[in-house]
Structure 1
Amino acid sequence: MNDTQLDRAGKPATVSARISPAGGLDILSRNEVVRLRDASGSGLHGLLRRCALAVLTSGEVGDDPRGMFEQYPNFDIQVLQQDRGIKIELSHAPAKAFVDGQIIRGINELLVAVVRDIVYVATQLEQGAFNLEDTVGLTHAVFEILRNARILKPQIDPNLVVCWGGHSISREEYEYTKSVGYQLGLRGMDICTGCGPGAMKGPMKGATIAHAKQRRRKNRYIGVTEPGIIAAESPNPIVNQLVIMPDIEKRLEAFVRMGHTIIVFPGGVGTAEEILYLLGILLHPDNAGIPFPLIFTGPRQSAAYFEQIDTFLRLALGDEVAQHYKIIVDDPIAVAHAAARGTDKVRNHRLDNKDAFFFNWSLSIPLAFQQPFVPTHAAMRALAIQRKRPRHELAADLRRVFSGIVAGNVKDEGVRAIEQYGPFEIDGEPEIMRALDRLLQAFVQQHRMKLPGGSAYVPCYRVLTS
């Protein structure tokens, strides 16, 4: 539901207010406050302003990374140090974030999460607390960010289902994600998604009803995002735990380290990126024998979507890749049963190997899946899409292909690069290129690249098929 309020001139109504943070942020150092107020290139104010506005527009549906600031060009946020703690001063903030002059409690909590994560990551990087040059150090960074956000819960049996899928999906697909979420909720599952609309919101919405029916308290609806995505995919209103990871690679690692089962709903290039990330890890020889339930599902109308995904994966990575996922069409109860059985296997494996329930330490994630990929035109053209490579290495570069297209579609820096230099060029083994081109064309035809109602999608890429 989009409940944007308009002023008399027909523009989005705004409110200016000074609020007390809710939910776990009492004090900051003077240096931290100074950095949050610093609007220079080395300061944090621009990042804070962008992420805060995304939270304050929670519930609005759009995929234009610059659209928010066009609606609220005068918005600003300042963190103030006072004798009894901190205050957050909002200027020209979206009126929809307030009720009778008071900020909505859930939005206040998500706003605190923004400040907390931005400050923590910047401080730790400045102090050299994270070693970002090797796999152990990068995993440690992911763990510390999640721990600081109080996302990791040590005394809970495995029950966290990560749901991936697109923000631009049909109404039938959205209703289906709710049905699956409902069945998961009835069985005591918590939900983690990318925190946005569409397939990220539906499972949470379904689970809330089931949790209420089961009189279940302390439910977790975890949203994991990153600064480049949050502006295009504002957190949906059901998210009650938000964490902002520094980049897409740490966001993806957070999903697979925390999750006990992953369910994939129909989506676009972002969903394909997520699939290839996880499959590339599972194809690595070091991870043989580690149970990781992966379920592809959607309504009957979406059967062709998963056929296309399955065909592409088998062609690029070999038929053996299908051993790592199960496709279930139009059966939410069967999906929930498969998730429950898979989660039980994960629990038993963790017990046998003395691994934590709340963080999958035993999973080996190669550096190629952890180091941030900057999708410049040169970097996109240089990707080695060849089947003669080890399958997990090929999957890593295929993941980067889709990551670059995501950037060109919805991330501000990617959109600007496409405007300046034209579409990315993607080259590689001809048979894979032709299959990739068919898959991307299907995404466009099915309106999975851009939300309906806006301008027609203009590809940010060109696949070299010959």
Structure 2
Amino acid sequence: MTDNHSSPQAAAVTTHKLPTVDARIHPRGALDVLSRAEVARLRDASGGGMHDLLRRCALAVLTSGSASDDPRAAQELYPDFDIQVLQQDRGVRIDLHNAPAMAFVDGEIIRGVAELLFAVVRDLAWTAIELAEEADLRSGEGITDAVFGLLRNARVLHPSDPNLVVCWGGHSIGREEYVYTKQVGYELGLRGLDICTGCGPGAMKGPMKGATIAHAKQRRRRTRYIGITEPGIIAAESPNPIVNHLVIMPDIEKRLEAFVRMAHGIIVFPGGVGTAEEILYLLGILLREENAGRRFPVILTGPTGAAPYFEQIDRFIRLTLGDEAASRYEIIVNDPETVARRMESGIRKVREQRIAQKDSFFFNWALHVPLEFQQPFSPTHELMAGLDLHHGRKPYELAADLRRAFSGIVAGNVKEDGMRRIERFGPFEIHGDADIMQALDALLRAFVEQRRMKIAGDYRPCYRVVA
């Protein structure tokens, strides 16, 4: 377990914005040693350095539990915040200047917040050196090796019996749906299953919260609440307080691959464009011939009020990818106990198959992930307009481009780079066959009407669907 101590000199400072704290922290355990090269890269404030990225990710962690999904909000509230990582003879020192006071109690940094902060430093240091200089990111195998290396360095790969359920769903959901995610998490926890999510609020927090109660009832002390995020989205979806293992992947594609490589089963709750992106990513992979026989339980679930949402998702998938894609998941409405039982049963079959095929329990090496699902997609107006959203393609190929379309909308909604492009050039345009565009437009309109795009305020579309 990680130890941390804030400096005795930590003092509250009142600014014109919000109360802040200056502190000095000495991490131990998970982050006790960094190389001089890693520290130098984290301190480098030039265009090619990591300091600005470190500052933004650290601020997101220090404002954990924020109700905003505007990536610029925290920076505007704490414009003078800074973080410096220093190498000392006896280990690493982290200096915080004008840090949010909400991360401290009586001058001491909250232990869980400190652990997440150390995870930020650890993962960005690994990305700056190991990934940038030694990884082969041109081949599918090289990218998978890089994903494995990041997860192993984060110490989240455990060679124990399969029990990890990845839960996807929206950060902006209503009270009824949030309570339902907690109920499902509770049933999963009673059956000894651990939880992995995108680490943010809403459907990413609920299953963890429900599982904590169930794990306490079952007296499970070694529990995992894993949050996997990436730098472009962490500021908009800061880690929820229950996450006890945070991993920051370099981009959304490696984040998605980490989910499917680690998962023994996936549950999808109601969500918006980010959830649709995740569903299309998973189905596109499962539709490959190489993965036809892979055991991989997938359940879409929500309360009774969410039934129309899943009906619309199901129609969209059948129209674009076909009935075979729909056969890879099960829809269960308003029945948390059945969801947990089906998932537990599915994971037992995963275990049997992994043993029979001599595949590891902790990393799904045998799953084939095509290169088009691994290569980073940085949405520009030109690339978004050029996506090939037409019938006649192989289902997994169409799934790859549909996934990119939703990824671009996510970027326009909550990522700083995407928001700047929209402000400068206007909405992205998405082109394709008339029936696909009609279904896509209807789905996106439903997300807007159901307030699945933003937590607060009116949503202004960053896209335009063109038939």
What range is the shorter-chain TM-score in? over 0.9
Residue pairs, 1:387-398, within 5 angstroms: 387-398=391-402
**Residue 129 of structure 2 is aligned with which of 120, 123, 130?**
123
Q: SS in structure 1 opposite 2:327?
A: helix
Paired residues of 1:76 and 1:90 also in contact (CA < 8 A): yes
**Residue 462 of structure 1 is aligned with which of 455, 461, 464?**
464
Aligned letter for 1:117?
A: D
Residue pairs, 1:9-28, within 5 angstroms: 11-28=17-34
User: Are 2:58 and 1:52 aligned?
Assistant: yes
User: Are 2:138 and 1:136 aligned?
Assistant: no
Aligned letter for 2:137?
A: L
Counterparts of 1:104 and 1:326, CA distance in 2: 40
Q: Equivalent residue for 1:33?
A: 39
Offset of residue 122 of structure 1? 1.2
Residue pairs, 1:149-164, within 5 angstroms: 149-154=154-159, 156-164=160-168
Q: SS in structure 1 opposite 2:432?
A: coil
- Which moved further from structure 2: 19-28 or 375-384? 19-28
Q: Equivalent residue for 1:147?
A: 152
Offset of residue 83 of structure 1? 2.3
Counterparts of 1:239 and 1:23, CA distance in 2: 18
Paired residues of 2:64 and 2:240 also in contact (CA < 8 A): yes
| Cα deviation 1:434-465 (Å, max 9, x = unaligned) | 0000000000000001113x2x1000000003
Aligned letter for 1:16?
A: D
Offset of residue 52 of structure 1? 0.4
Offset of residue 7 of structure 1? 8.4
| Cα deviation 1:313-365 (Å, max 9, x = unaligned) | 00111122211000000000000011001101110110110000000011000
Paired residues of 2:147 and 2:258 also in contact (CA < 8 A): yes
User: Residues 74 and 126 of structure 1: is their aligned pair in 2 closer, same or farther, counting only changes over 3 Å?
Assistant: same
Counterparts of 1:378 and 1:22, CA distance in 2: 47
Q: SS in structure 2 opposite 1:463?
A: strand
Counterparts of 1:281 and 1:144, CA distance in 2: 21
Q: SS in structure 2 opposite 1:324?
A: coil
**Residue 179 of structure 2 is aligned with which of 172, 175, 182?**
175
Q: Would you say how many aligned residue pairs link Structure 1 and Structure 2? A: 456
Counterparts of 1:8 and 1:125, CA distance in 2: 40
Instruction: Give the unaligned 5+ runs of structure 2.
Output: 1-11
Offset of residue 125 of structure 1? 3.1
Q: Equivalent residue for 1:200?
A: 204
Paired residues of 1:181 and 1:207 also in contact (CA < 8 A): yes
Instruction: Give the unaligned 5+ runs of structure 1.
Output: 1-5
Counterparts of 1:8 and 1:42, CA distance in 2: 33
Offset of residue 9 of structure 1? 7.5
- Which moved further from structure 2: 380-389 or 15-24? 15-24
Counterparts of 1:110 and 1:408, CA distance in 2: 27
Counterparts of 2:15 and 2:148, CA distance in 1: 48
Counterparts of 2:39 and 2:13, CA distance in 1: 33
Counterparts of 1:280 and 1:403, CA distance in 2: 14
Q: SS in structure 1 opposite 2:211?
A: helix
Q: SS in structure 2 opposite 1:27?
A: coil
Residue pairs, 1:78-97, within 5 angstroms: 78-97=84-103
Paired residues of 1:317 and 1:387 also in contact (CA < 8 A): no
Q: Equivalent residue for 1:299?
A: 303
Counterparts of 1:247 and 1:58, CA distance in 2: 21
Residue pairs, 1:205-354, within 5 angstroms: 205-354=209-358
Aligned letter for 1:409?
A: N
Counterparts of 1:445 and 1:10, CA distance in 2: 37
Counterparts of 2:369 and 2:285, CA distance in 1: 6
* TM-score using structure 1 length: 0.96
Paired residues of 1:22 and 1:109 also in contact (CA < 8 A): no
**Residue 70 of structure 1 is aligned with which of 70, 76, 79?**
76
* TM-score using structure 2 length: 0.96
Identity of counterpart residues, as a percentage?
69
Counterparts of 1:117 and 1:83, CA distance in 2: 22
Counterparts of 2:424 and 2:89, CA distance in 1: 48
Counterparts of 1:28 and 1:311, CA distance in 2: 50
Q: Equivalent residue for 2:448?
A: 444
Aligned letter for 1:114?
A: V
Offset of residue 61 of structure 1? 1.6
| Cα deviation 1:419-448 (Å, max 9, x = unaligned) | 000000000111100000000000000000
Paired residues of 1:161 and 1:263 also in contact (CA < 8 A): yes
Counterparts of 1:25 and 1:431, CA distance in 2: 52
Offset of residue 31 of structure 1? 2.0
Q: Equivalent residue for 1:3?
A: none
Q: SS in structure 2 opposite 1:77?
A: strand
Counterparts of 2:67 and 2:27, CA distance in 1: 26
